[in-house]
Structure 1
Amino acid sequence: MGCDRNCGLIAGAVIGAVLALLGGILMPVGDMLIEKTIKKEVVLEEGTIAFKNWVKTGTEVYRQFWIFDVQNAQEVVANSSKIKVKQRGPYTYRVRYLAKENITHDTENHLVSFVQPNGAIFEPSLSVGTEDDTMTVLNLAVAYNNTVDGVYSVFSGKDNVSQVAIIDTYKGKKNLSYWPSYCDMINGTDAASFPPFVEKTRVLRFFSSDICRSIYAVFGAEINLKGIPVYRFVLPSMAFASPLQNPDNHCFCTEKVISNNCTSYGVLDIGKCKEGKPVYISLPHFLHASPDIGEPIEGLSPNEDEHTTYLDVEPITGFTLRFAKRLQINILVKPAKKIEALKNLKRNYIVPILWLNETGTIGDEKAAQFRKQVTGKINLLGLVEIILLTVGVVMFVAFMISYCACRSKGKR
């Protein structure tokens, strides 16, 4: 009986050791399998999860406009007084509902080319008024409907997954021809996705044709989005800083008179890529801009929560599952003797025209599918690993203690 009991205890300890060993082995093996699967599915080629969602996003994207209605136009023209504005909005449009077009594959160089059609459908239920509302603003065409953006050529990631979705050329060029030096480079992706296995220390670089430049976002927080853990990356204030604060921005400084010898910050002159129009881009309500920029304007109230741009990125796949792109369009107004309305002005103004908020969040159905295909499997595998390791260790220790106790008792 003593031998049988001891043998049973040894068998239990062996089983525990095997379970613990399986759990330990499953960790690196499981991680390797996950990595292999992810690397396969994020490649931009027919049949992958990434390609299906890349061609036509299942996320509903809305672009909301708030227009700055000038309240004292005549007073400004006559006396160069501060411009009083009143924000009116939102006026909401559904956008990015059209699939990418003219998709071509360059298998030799592992590139995919496409154009992105721009469509916009007015959403009255999400707007404060109609498209026929009237208000006083400077004359500027700001709605880009029934046009296309591109051609973009991006890396498929087939030969190197760390390059997936990164832009190789835009409109056939690797540079923009707008800025001097490295500011003219086209960096990163289009922000819809990034190469997989995103770490918090990574700087996410992306190109936006809206602002005619490449920009970047840094880690801000961990967030749970519909049961999916995501990293929130935000545009830092240093991206819009003056060259005195951020020397890397020296080549974005184009108008030394308006920017006070490049000491002002928070606005970007994009006139060169807007057919010479005096267009300036900023964050809404001049968030993160120097005080002198907003000083001539009354009625602004910058707010970090409402006016910051962010991307919520699922770190394993690199897919952007929620985003809010916020920017403001402004016009430079200067005294002009030959223009009746401007001849009495005695100062320069950067006048806010409107600000927009383009948002998109993964839908409930897509989120459930994502949890099932990605995070659910990873979590299940992790749970199995922990259970095997924990149960194995506990069994091994318990049975070995019992065996040693029995041996000690038998010797007495």
Structure 2
Amino acid sequence: MINIPSSIRTIIGLVLSSVEKPIMQRTVKEYLWGYEDPILNILKKQLPQLVSNDQVSVFASVVNEAQYETILINNGVGFDINHTERIDNVGKIERFNFSTNLSIWSNKYANMINGTDSTIWHPDARKDELIYTFMNDICRSVYLKFNQTRQNSFDISTYQYTLPNDVFANSSDNEGFCLNSSTSDNIQQLKCLPSGLFSLSSCIHLSGSTFAIPLPIIASNPHFLATDRSVQDAIIGLMPDEMLHRSYIDIEPMTGIVMNGSRRMQFNLNVINDSKISGVSHVKSLVYPMIWVNEHAEIDKPNADIFHKKVFRPLTVLSVFKYTFLAFGIVLLITVIALVTIYQYKKNLTVVVVESEPTVDETTPLISE
């Protein structure tokens, strides 16, 4: 829960009860890109020095910030300071906004910037490695594990990597993503969400205010796939499906080029029962689904044809030449061996000459004159 002073929560409750209902109907466009909020509209008029924007959205602030972001990407040329070939680091994000790490999470591991932007990986991908990608819109790095080998419709063999349950699990490996929370004694402690949930309140803020106001947004897999049972049971109508709701990416292993992929994520509202806010004092605390998004991309036929022409065809030609030269070499070797053998045989050959006595027939005189 976001730490808000009791007096502020009381004021919010009074305003909420008079101008706004806790449950509103909004279009998908409004959810994603913004709508005018009645409370913020009042604050904008009464306290313009604090609030200059009355729009609330999931993505608008992220998109607005993206235009000012800078990303330094390794081009894979030469060697790094450890004398490692940089081709293994091609596409790797070296710096985000001029920094090698983030500073919003509670430990250095959670703040690490790992992997690429998910558009390319190093050549010679392996089945036993973890594929890391940095997702700046949720302010963290994630990893994918090998799932299976696939053949796409353009006859290109790929390795499929999927987002495992471990990434959003409530575990010691993820404690760096737990948020600071105050107890009734005003003691700071880390509060971790159930498995399958990931808080974005440290990442997504209300735009247009003089200080950062975090939004109570929680990310998860669509339909709460692989989420703690208690979270799923609070919502009616969920139909989680591994094929439809699991994020994945298909990589051509030799080149590291992405052939197909889907990033699927659900954005939820963290609804908290709070006696100080009259509008939600009788509302059950739960994680309420708002919308889920499927960002999908795959190679098309023209580009698949180019890939075959530029990559597979030269390899086929090289393979033909390789075996042709191998066969020619074998024939040449056999010929040389045969010629040497014949030469040695002739060189060592011994000619035997046999002298025979003249033949005497019946008509030859016994004593010649």
1:187 and 2:125 equivalent? no
1:172 to partner: Cα distance? 2.0
**1:230-251 C-alpha deviation (Å, 9 max, x unpaired):** 21111111112221xxx32121
Structure 1 runs not aligned, ≥5 long: 1-87, 92-118, 120-138, 405-412
Quick one: which amino acid aligns to residue 300 of structure 2? Answer: G
SS of 1:184 mapped into structure 2: coil
Structure 2 residue 252 is the aligned partner of structure 1 residue 314: yes
Check whether the contact 1:219–1:233 (CA below 8 A) recurs between aligned residues: yes
> What residue ranges of structure 2 are gaps of 5+ in the alignment?
1-26, 34-54, 79-85, 183-189, 206-213, 342-369
The alpha-carbon deviation at position 155 of structure 1 amounts to 1.5
- CA distance in 2 between counterparts of 1:196 and 1:280 reads 35
Equivalent in 251, 270, 273 of residue 203 of structure 2: 273
For 2:73, the equivalent position in structure 1 comes to 154
Aligned equivalents of 1:164 and 1:188: distance in 2?
Answer: 10
- Does the 8 Å contact 1:228/1:375 carry over to 2? no
Matched, 1:354 2:281: no
Aligned residue type for 1:351: Y
Q: How far has the Cα of 1:398 moved from its partner?
A: 11
> How many residues are aligned here?
268
Change (3 A) 1:316 1:399: same
How many angstroms apart in 2 are the aligned matches of 1:300 and 1:358?
20
Deviation at 1:314, TM superposition (A): 1.6
Q: 1:146 to 1:283 in 2, by over 3 A?
A: closer
**Residue by residue, what CA displacement relative to the aligned partner does 1:46-73 show, whole Å, maximum 9, x if unpaired?**
xxxxxxxxxxxxxxxxxxxxxxxxxxxx
- The equivalent of 1:115 in structure 2 is none
8 A Cα contact 2:103 2:111, kept in partner: yes
Aligned residue number for residue 37 of structure 2? none
- Aligned equivalents of 2:327, 2:266: Cα separation in 1: 55
Q: Report the 3-state secondary structure (helix = DSSP H, G, I; strand = E; otherwise coil) of the residue aligned with 2:121.
A: coil
Query: What do you get for the CA RMSD once the two structures are aligned?
Result: 3.4
- Secondary structure of the 2:126 match is coil
Deviations 1:63-92, CA, capped at 9 Å, x for gaps: xxxxxxxxxxxxxxxxxxxxxxxxx99x9x
Task: Name the residue aligned to 2:58.
Answer: 142
Larger radius of gyration: 2
List aligned pairs for 1:298-337, cutoff 5 A: 298-337=236-275
Match of 1:227 in 2: 155
User: Closer, same or farther in 2 for the Cα pair 1:308/1:140, shift >3 Å?
Assistant: farther
- For the pair 1:251 / 2:181, whether they are aligned, the reply is no
Cα pair 2:265 2:294 within 8 Å, conserved: yes
Q: Which residue, 158, 162, 166 being the options, matches 2:92?
A: 166
Say whether the 8 Å CA contact 2:179–2:191 is kept in structure 1: no
The separation in 1 between residues aligned to 2:235 and 2:115, in whole angstroms, is 35
What TM-score results when the alignment is normalised by the length of structure 1? 0.58
Q: Which amino acid is the alignment partner of residue 305 of structure 2?
A: A
**Contact 1:152-1:171 within 8 A present in 2 as well:** yes
Deviation per residue, 1:159-188 (Å, 9 max, x gap): 222222211111222222221221111111
**Pairing partner for 1:213 from 137, 140, 144:** 140
Alignment of 1:16-27 (within 5 A): none
Q: Is the 8 A contact 1:188 1:206 kept in 2?
A: yes
Query: Which of 314, 320, 327 is the aligned partner of 1:377?
Result: 314
In the alignment, is the contact (CA less than 8 A) between 1:155 and 1:165 conserved in 2? yes
1:271: how far off? Answer: 0.3
| Equivalent in the alignment of 1:12 | none
Aligned counterparts of 1:310 and 1:200: Cα–Cα separation in 2: 14
Q: Is the 8 A contact 1:155 1:163 kept in 2?
A: yes
Q: Cα–Cα, structure 1 residues 383 and 223, in superposed 2: closer, same or farther, change >3 Å?
A: farther
**Distance across 1 between alignment mates of 2:335 and 2:244:** 57
CA contact (8 A) 1:240 1:288 kept: no
CA contact (8 A) 2:76 2:88 kept: yes
- Is the Cα contact below 8 Å between 1:255 and 1:269 reproduced in 2? no
TM superposition shift of 1:265: 0.3
**Pairing partner for 1:282 from 203, 220, 223:** 220
Residue 240 (str. 1) matches residue 177 (str. 2): no
Cα offset for 1:291?
A: 0.3
Q: Could you tell me how far apart the structure 2 residues matched to 1:285 and 1:301 are?
A: 6
Counterpart CA distance in 2 for 1:263 and 1:398 is 76
Deviation at 1:383? 3.9
Partner secondary structure for residue 178 of structure 1: coil
Question: Cα 1:254–1:261, aligned 2, differ >3 Å: closer, same or farther?
Answer: closer
**Change beyond 3 A, Cα 1:378–1:343:** same
Which digits, 9 at most, give the CA deviation of each residue in 1:12-63, with x for residues without a partner? xxxxxxxxxxxxxxxxxxxxxxxxxxxxxxxxxxxxxxxxxxxxxxxxxxxx
**CA spacing shift, 1:261–1:390, aligned 2, 3 Å:** farther
Identity between Structure 1 and Structure 2 (%): 29
